[in-house]
Amino acid sequence: MKKMLVTGGAGFIGSHFIRYMLSKHKDLEIINLDKLTYAGNLENLKDIEKDSRYTFIQGDICDEHRVNSLVQNVNVILNFAAESHVDRSIGKPDDFIKTDIYGVFVLLEASKKWGVERFVQISTDEVYGSIENGYFKENDTLMPSSPYAASKAGGDRLAYSYYVTYGIPVVIPRSSNNFGPFQYPEKIVSLFITNALDDKKLPIYGDGGNVRDWLFVRDNCEAIEIIMERGKEGEVYNIGGGNERTNLELTEFILRMLDKPLDLKTFVEDRKGHDRRYALNTDKIKALGWKPNHTFENAMEETIFWYQKNRWWWERLKSGEFLEYYKKHYKQNL
Ligand code: NAD
Ligand code: TDX
């Protein structure tokens, strides 16, 4: 029986990955180690919390003792745990450096001590920085432009160095922007859908011409599994949905789908160091047999429908800590 340690499994992508793996494989045990920061939410996994193959442990990936006690009993590690929001990293980078770099170091050291069959370090397209034209390939130069992206680049390359130096069987998926159910409502898709549902303004940074390549979260989970199973040790794999949209196009798409007035959109001060465009060449992961199974339109429709039907999930999150952060972050009164 395969035993996996999934870190950050109470967050957005990690929770989808755990659900996906448990539904696909019978002979699997998953331990979810999550600190439960503001972004960690056990309600994301309510449907599987009683599954005997699943164990949740609250803890920090920077905690060497906790990590070692778990790593000695697993075959595979998937590190999803991270501080993940660019805007928060601009305001206060401290926790990004701790979790996204030092936390990776603690996990790698434990892997070196106890041995693992696979170490999957979840990275991001943001490590490349911005590209005006063309597509980034896996061996292109990394030019991260936010403290978030730089800390992720640190974790990504640290994992690689443990492959080169100590032979740790590392693989590194770098995916584009994910969207789907259970995404903390601070990221553009979940924030804008939930704001629109409440007839609140949708704050577009700058001129709205920044481009992101949208990937449905379940397609990402399938790609991560393929990379874990078939990826070559020490290698990076880009994962992109092939759905480039400007933020303005995305915003208007959401408003139209919800039959809401287009004047809910409002232009606000630009993000500092705002990357103009992310775009990935995905030939390498496609050569492993992956392709996205969802169209942008169908996946977005499913996502919007989910937020419409699950107010219980996001209404609580948009009060308390979120409201404080939101008021501080947006100088404009939206
Ligand atoms: P998220 O913010 O929704 O979840 C992060 C999870 O990590 C939370 O459950 C949080 O409690 C946990 N966590 C944070 N610090 C921790 C620590 N020190 N120890 C243990 N747990 C900790 O993030 P997400 O959007 O699900 O992203 C997951 C991973 O995928 C991250 O590594 C992120 O960099 C990467 N990624 C995300 C996207 C995206 O579009 N969301 C795209 C590419 C890559
Ligand atoms: O209110 C907003 N208004 C706005 O115009 C927010 C929250 C965002 N934006 C813009 C900024 C970006 O151009 O929308 C775009 C997407 O922003 P985010 O949802 O914050 O995502 P991004 O910064 O692109 O990073 C995401 O994708 C890569 C994830 O948060 C990262 O964890 C991942 O690595």
DSSP 75-101: SEEEE------HHHHHH--HHHHIIII
* The listed CATH number (3.40.50.720, 3.40.50.2300, 3.20.20.70, 3.30.70.120) that belongs to domain 2-181+214-246+278-295: 3.40.50.720
Of 163, 224, 297, residue with least CA distance to 8: 224
Of 36, 53, 35, 41, residue with least CA distance to 15: 41
H/E element, 19? helix 12-24
Q: Which residues line ligand 2 (CB under 6 A)?
A: 84-86, 124, 126, 177, 187-188, 191, 203-205, 210, 212, 247, 271
- At 135-162, the pLDDT tens digits run 999 999 999 999 999 999 999 999 999 9
Distance in angstroms (rounded) separating the CA atoms of residues 304 and 310: 10
What percent of the chain has pLDDT above 70? 98
- Please check whether residue 70 is in contact with residue 33, taking contact to mean a CB–CB distance below 8 angstroms: yes
Distance 105 CA to ligand 2 centre (A): 26
Mean per-residue pLDDT of the chain? 96
Question: 106 CB less than 6 Å from ligand 1?
Answer: no
- At 79-136, the pLDDT tens digits run 999 999 999 999 999 999 999 999 999 999 999 999 999 999 999 999 999 999 999 9
Q: Is the pTM of this model over 0.95?
A: yes
Question: 210 CB less than 6 Å from ligand 1?
Answer: no
Question: 37 CB less than 6 Å from ligand 1?
Answer: yes
Distance 46 CA to ligand 1 centre (A): 18
Distance in angstroms (rounded) separating the CA atoms of residues 260 and 155: 41
Angle between helical axes of 64-71 and 103-114 (0-180°, round to 10): 40
Mutate to test the pocket of ligand 1, among 31, 65, 80 (most ligand atoms within 8 A of CB): 80
3-class SS of residue 105: helix
Q: Where are the domains of the chain?
A: 2-181+214-246+278-295
Question: 172 CB less than 6 Å from ligand 1?
Answer: no
Question: 40 CB less than 6 Å from ligand 1?
Answer: yes
**Sequence letter at residue 39:** A
Catalytic residues: 125-126, 148
Distance in angstroms (rounded) separating the CA atoms of residues 321 and 316: 10
Which residue numbers in the chain have pLDDT < 50? 333
The two three-digit tokens of residue 173, written as one number: 């998926």
Q: End-to-end CA distance of the chain: give it in Å, rounded.
A: 52
3-class SS of residue 4: strand
What percent of the chain has pLDDT above 90? 95
Query: Residues, the chain, total?
Result: 334
Question: Which residues is 121 bridged to in the sheet?
Answer: 79
- Please check whether residue 249 is in contact with residue 331, taking contact to mean a CB–CB distance below 8 angstroms: no
